Structure 1
């Protein structure tokens, strides 16, 4: 069950039955190519089709302050998320925490090896629909700015809502993450504290989330 506080103080909630992660979803093909190159440096093969859409186990949609990891090569990705509730479509901040060691063997596998962390507050999509491209998305890892861009860099929510409708998935309980913006390669992504912020410059309203990465104990083998 996901629960969100809306700007008017009311709450919206929905159980999650479908969780989808968009990938290689930049509106600019230059940005998409840069992201493919960034992943290729980590050994991730180029996708056959862009944009991609990865189904993820619904229980991995979480509102949490702590993410367990099996090893030190996991990292987040700043994204926005659409959440379809019984009464509305919400927009919120999210962080797709991905297993980079597993990613070289399969992106879909890596997406299912870590949670999609969502903020605890959200906006009604209709309330910000006239200025979506101006919304700013940032990520910090261990205090260092690693991602900074606007929603204009990514395929628009309307694009993904059309995709959901075409697939019969625009129903309460569906959550879709947007795909991410480029990372600063000079910043070490393998940190222990992630923070993602979605800002509306028109109102200075902010939706944010933060979590610590917690290494699990070593397995006995």
Structure 2
């Protein structure tokens, strides 16, 4: 099992062991836009989901707080997301943090669920209690930057209003009996800017709160694995 630690704004450190890791997919607030996106991906060879929004179980050890992601080839990339962390049994134990879902794009054309299990979900080391930001959740911002060596070119920018809200996913977890300590769920992502190369050597994602000026960040470098023998 994977232990994660999150520092809250009051300096408290919350530790949880990941027992269930889930990736939301096709999770835009507008499902009409999602269906259009599914058709676009189908033209690129990515299999369409049987229903949307989708939810993909991921091996728990892939939830990581790391500064380096190892990649087997050049066609992997991240995605700016928020993550819901169930750190206890009380409502105040639901944490919101920033995340980057690194995905094997070459494998994605064979199965999205497979591609999600081929690379880590990188989570930030700081978090907010969901109850503290729930009343302004749609105003929170998601921004991602990429680059060959330094993540300084913007590739994603939007607000959480573009995605299904945490309360939706809390309901899904309750229905499935998964709203329990050790569950981590990533939100799905917002659109990428079309002219920016996502296959970058560095990724950085920020979850911002305009009302307070606060922000949660995560960043990592992508390093190629050595070439295989055989």
TM-score by length of 2: 0.93
Which runs of 5 or more residues in structure 1 are unaligned?
Answer: none
Give the Cα separation in 2 of the matches to 1:166 and 1:117: 26
**Deviation, structure 1 residue 45:** 1.9
Q: More displaced, 176-185 or 33-42?
A: 33-42
The equivalent residue for 1:137 is: 142
| Matched position secondary structure for 2:132 | helix
- Confirm or deny that 1:114 pairs with 2:119: yes
- Confirm or deny that 1:220 pairs with 2:229: yes
User: What does 1:171-186 correspond to in 2, within 5 Å?
Assistant: 171-186=180-195
- What CA RMSD, in Å, does the superposition of the two structures yield over aligned residues? 1.1
The equivalent residue for 2:164 is: 155
Give the Cα separation in 1 of the matches to 2:99 and 2:54: 18
Give the Cα separation in 2 of the matches to 1:136 and 1:212: 22
**Deviation, structure 1 residue 38:** 5.0
- Confirm or deny that 1:89 pairs with 2:94: yes
Cα distance, 1:113–1:178 mapped onto 2, change above 3 Å: same
**Deviation, structure 1 residue 48:** 1.7
Cα distance, 1:40–1:70 mapped onto 2, change above 3 Å: same
TM-score by length of 1: 0.97
Which runs of 5 or more residues in structure 2 are unaligned?
Answer: none
User: What does 1:169-208 correspond to in 2, within 5 Å?
Assistant: 169-208=178-217
Give the Cα separation in 2 of the matches to 1:174 and 1:214: 28
| Matched position secondary structure for 2:18 | coil
Extract structure 1 runs of 4+ deviating beyond 6 A.
none
- Confirm or deny that 1:46 pairs with 2:52: no
Cα distance, 1:82–1:152 mapped onto 2, change above 3 Å: same
How many residues were matched structurally?
Answer: 221
Give the Cα separation in 1 of the matches to 2:214 and 2:41: 32
Deviation by residue 1:117-149 (Cα, 9 ceiling, x = unmatched):
000000000000100000000111112111110
Residues 95, 118 of structure 1: 8 Å contact kept = yes
| Matched position secondary structure for 2:85 | strand
The counterpart of 1:71, out of the listed 70, 73, 88, is 73
Give the Cα separation in 1 of the matches to 2:36 and 2:128: 30
Give the Cα separation in 1 of the matches to 2:35 and 2:193: 15
Residues 35, 182 of structure 1: 8 Å contact kept = no
